[in-house]
A and B are shown apart, each in its own frame.
Chain A
Amino acid sequence: MDLQEFRDGLDGWLDEHQPDLVPPHGSDVSLDAEMEHLSKVKRLTFDAGWMRRGWPERVGGLGGSTLMRAYLGEALASRDLIEPGIYSMTEVLAPTMIEFARPELAAEMVPRLLRGDETWCQGFSEPSTGSNLGSLSCRARRDGDAWAVSGQKVWTSLAQYADRCVLLTRTGSPESGSRGITALFVDMDSPGITVRPIRAMHGRDEFCEVFFDDVRVPGDRILGEVDGGWAVAMDLLPYERSTSLWHRGAFLRQRLERLLASPSGDALDPAALGEVVQLAFAFHARSRATQYRMAGGERLGAETSIDKVLLATTEQAVYDLVADAAAADVALADDPDGARWRTEFLYSRAATIYGGSAEVQRNIIARRLLDLGVDR
């Protein structure tokens, strides 16, 4: 199936099934309900075959170009059927499993993630380890042929719903830095794991603290090599800045279109609107090229930091425009549509913080793309 056939088929299928896929709206919709809806969308699109395209057959996919994955998320976000932040976790975690897990483990687990039967989370950040990922200290020590994990993670998105976790642990000496890290695939129902959700400023339990108290992880749940976890993380991060950003871009475009068509659109300043649309056009063009590089089998790397900075800048510019044109909604509204603008505006403030802060991206660009040598 080529992209054009996929696009035509999917568009027709979505037209037909739209009523089943519309998410619950309103200010009283809980994250529980949103997660349930997401699982449903993933299940329906998986069972109809759309979600399986672009993924290898050995993990339950139907093969073909990764552009189909990019288009599926784009189509769902453009129709306002998903929130891309929680939808696109798949784009970050599944490629890592395919690349680094035992083939049998990947074959068993990845279909569950794609079909929405399971939710996974990504255990990277720690209280003392934000931007400086190589300094993490959550400890994994050998326990026979298994690992025993003790320590803490934080800012772990969806941990309260997660069935599994891609976890980075310290297996080398405390000073081993990026050389002494091992990645494990952990069942979240293992004894010794405690999850505490953290309420974010926009009113959602966006992320969690996760505590590990002597949690036993079987030896065959290793991802990559012992002390080779840095490679896993470095491989994963560019994925965090490719297809998932394309999905987010489609979502922003849909929201901007909504703003333009709404009564608040009358209050838009033409110059400000023009500038935001130009930014969004540049991001779209850049991210589109990235999707083609990925589909062509290129290994993504530091250059995706450009995509991330462009997206974060665009996202905040879009919602700055919202805050100006729909000021009363953002400040006062309690109706679902108005409150949604506020929630999204508040969430947009995090765009330059999560997924590698704007500063970390600029560090990567300076070091790896401009070749300015080490930062001292």
Chain B
Amino acid sequence: MMDAETAGLLAQSLRRAFEDGDAASADAALDEIGWCEALAAEGIAVVPLLFAEQGAANAASGALDDLLTAVLGLPPGARTAFVLPEFGGRSVPGSVRHGDLAVRGLGTARMAAADHAVVVTEEHRAVVVETGRLRIQPVKGVDPRLGLARVEGAGIPAPGAGRATDAGWTDALAAGRLALAYEMTGASRTMLRLAREHALTRVQFGRPIGSFQAVRHRLAECLVALDGGEAALAAAVEMAEGAWPARVAPVPAGIAKALAGRNARTVARHCQQVLAGVGFTDEHDFHHYFRRVLALDGLLGDARTLTRELGEELLRTRRLPAVPSL
């Protein structure tokens, strides 16, 4: 495990890496910091730091591609992107018929510039394809700064159809969900910080609006949601087993991501109301974070889907999921 000093230094470098918010320069800075090496050396322990900072800074990078690629046992790097499932869903993006690969999914900001893309297929095999064989269409959507892309392809020759990953896809989903949950939590923390600063400085009826109970309770509600969600996330990280690539337990990871997605909506609703008119303008930073959590919630399974799936699974087993013991 990392000591506190190393973690502090890493957090500082990450904040610098995410300063200008541009995905290409963030990737270059992550490369310089040695993100992929840190991932290999420290495993899941570095995921909270990086993704929370990325979310807090409203930055985009290919860090998620690296994480998912590494969990599948493939070499990560700035030239390798990862094809995510379609928005809201969790099904694998690839399918192989008669040796031909078809692809339908999403890419992060790295996709357009990458040389290769990792595609997981229905048989849970990972195929590495040249991005030139894929149709990559930038998505503006609700969050243009995130730089998502639609990725499609058909008739791509896939001899032998890649290497088997078996449980790897489940592991990748779980690790990716933790990462996205931390990123949404980081973004939510920034929304709360913006709303808090506004509540302290905005004066109405001769006093800061932060002295009104209606405002205070909304912000308190945000902190409760975030601290509860972050405790669940930390527990999910703690429940990861073994050396890197550590097996992240899928159920706690799904719970943590669903909580982070739902909490982000709660935080956004309260903070937007506290920020009121100014928070509704394009000039204020709030909307960038709101847009970000709306987009991130839909990656690797959204809160609604994960919650329903959890309930259905519990009704099948009639047992509550394991929790970390004291």
A contact residues vs B (CB 8 Å cutoff): 3, 7, 67, 70-71, 74, 253, 256-257, 260-261, 265, 268-275, 277-286, 288-289, 291, 303, 306, 309-310, 313, 359, 361-363, 365-367, 369-370, 372-376
CB distance from B317 to the nearest CB of A (A): 9
Among candidates A278, A288, A289, A310, residue contacting B224 with C-beta atoms closer than 8 Å: A310
CB distance from B273 to the nearest CB of A (A): 15
Residues of A within 8 A of B318 (CB): 260-261, 265
Per-residue interface assignment for chain B, residues 301 to 316, with 1 indicating a CB less than 8 Å from any chain A CB and 0 otherwise: 0001011111110110
Bound Cα distance from A3 to B324, whole angstroms: 14
Residues of A within 8 A of B216 (CB): 362-363, 366-367, 370, 372, 375
Given A268-B315, A271-B304, 10 more pairs with CB closer than 8 A: A74-B326, A256-B320, A257-B319, A271-B308, A281-B252, A285-B235, A288-B231, A310-B224, A373-B200, A373-B211
**Chain B residue, CB-CB nearest to A74:** B326
> Is B278 engaged at the interface, CB distance under 8 Å to the other chain?
no
Residues of B within 8 A of A279 (CB): 228
**Chain B residue, CB-CB nearest to A280:** B320
Bound Cα distance from A313 to B219, whole angstroms: 16
Residues of B within 8 A of A280 (CB): 320
Residues of B within 8 A of A291 (CB): 326
Contact present for A306 and B223 (CB under 8 Å): yes
Residues of B within 8 A of A313 (CB): 224
Contact present for B314 and A260 (CB under 8 Å): yes
Contact present for B315 and A362 (CB under 8 Å): no
Bound Cα distance from A275 to B255, whole angstroms: 9
Count: A-B pairs, CB below 8 Å:
155
Bound Cα distance from A376 to B207, whole angstroms: 9
Bound Cα distance from A29 to B300, whole angstroms: 51
CB distance from B197 to the nearest CB of A (A): 11
Q: How large is the interface on B (under 10, 10 to 19, 20 to 34, 35 or more residues)?
A: 35 or more
Contact present for B320 and A306 (CB under 8 Å): no
Bound Cα distance from A278 to B257, whole angstroms: 10
CB distance from A288 to the nearest CB of B (A): 6
Contact present for B228 and A366 (CB under 8 Å): no
CB distance from A139 to the nearest CB of B (A): 31
CB distance from B278 to the nearest CB of A (A): 18
Contact present for A362 and B221 (CB under 8 Å): yes
Residues of B within 8 A of A268 (CB): 311, 315
**Chain B residue, CB-CB nearest to A257:** B320
Contact present for B314 and A273 (CB under 8 Å): yes
Interface majority SS on B: helix, strand, loop or mixed? helix
Among candidates B211, B262, B307, B325, residue contacting A372 with C-beta atoms closer than 8 Å: B211
**Chain B residue, CB-CB nearest to A372:** B210
Contact present for A271 and B211 (CB under 8 Å): no
Bound Cα distance from A90 to B259, whole angstroms: 33
Interface majority SS on A: helix, strand, loop or mixed? helix
CB distance from A246 to the nearest CB of B (A): 8
B contact residues vs A (CB 8 Å cutoff): 196, 199-200, 207-208, 210-211, 213, 216-217, 219-221, 223-224, 227-229, 231-232, 234-235, 252, 255, 258-259, 262, 304, 306-312, 314-315, 318-321, 323-326
Bound Cα distance from A375 to B219, whole angstroms: 13
CB distance from B297 to the nearest CB of A (A): 14
**Chain B residue, CB-CB nearest to A358:** B217
**Chain A residue, CB-CB nearest to B195:** A370
Residues of B within 8 A of A265 (CB): 315, 318
Residues of A within 8 A of B231 (CB): 282, 285-286, 288-289
Contact present for A67 and B258 (CB under 8 Å): no
Contact present for A285 and B232 (CB under 8 Å): yes
Bound Cα distance from A306 to B227, whole angstroms: 8
Contact present for B213 and A373 (CB under 8 Å): no
Contact present for B228 and A282 (CB under 8 Å): yes
Bound Cα distance from A319 to B308, whole angstroms: 19
Contact present for A288 and B324 (CB under 8 Å): yes
Bound Cα distance from A375 to B213, whole angstroms: 7
Contact present for A270 and B224 (CB under 8 Å): no
Among candidates A289, A310, A372, residue contacting B199 with C-beta atoms closer than 8 Å: A372
Contact present for B307 and A285 (CB under 8 Å): no
Among candidates A74, A362, A373, A376, residue contacting B220 with C-beta atoms closer than 8 Å: A362
Contact present for B320 and A253 (CB under 8 Å): yes
CB distance from A257 to the nearest CB of B (A): 5
Contact present for A374 and B211 (CB under 8 Å): yes
CB distance from A79 to the nearest CB of B (A): 15
Bound Cα distance from A247 to B262, whole angstroms: 27
Among candidates A270, A369, A375, residue contacting B223 with C-beta atoms closer than 8 Å: A369
**Chain B residue, CB-CB nearest to A286:** B231
Among candidates A253, A282, A363, residue contacting B213 with C-beta atoms closer than 8 Å: A363
Contact present for A306 and B307 (CB under 8 Å): no
Contact present for B234 and A284 (CB under 8 Å): no
Could you write out 22 A-B pairs with CB less than 8 Å apart?
Answer: A7-B325, A270-B308, A270-B310, A271-B304, A271-B311, A277-B255, A277-B320, A281-B255, A282-B232, A285-B228, A285-B234, A288-B231, A288-B235, A309-B220, A309-B224, A310-B228, A362-B221, A366-B210, A366-B220, A370-B196, A373-B208, A375-B213
CB distance from B299 to the nearest CB of A (A): 18
Most buried by B among A270, A271, A282, A283: A282
Contact present for A275 and B307 (CB under 8 Å): yes
Residues of A within 8 A of B207 (CB): 376
**Chain A residue, CB-CB nearest to B317:** A260
**Chain B residue, CB-CB nearest to A367:** B216
Contact present for B320 and A270 (CB under 8 Å): no
Bound Cα distance from A282 to B228, whole angstroms: 5
CB distance from B236 to the nearest CB of A (A): 8
**Chain A residue, CB-CB nearest to B210:** A372
Among candidates A274, A365, A372, residue contacting B200 with C-beta atoms closer than 8 Å: A372
CB distance from B233 to the nearest CB of A (A): 8
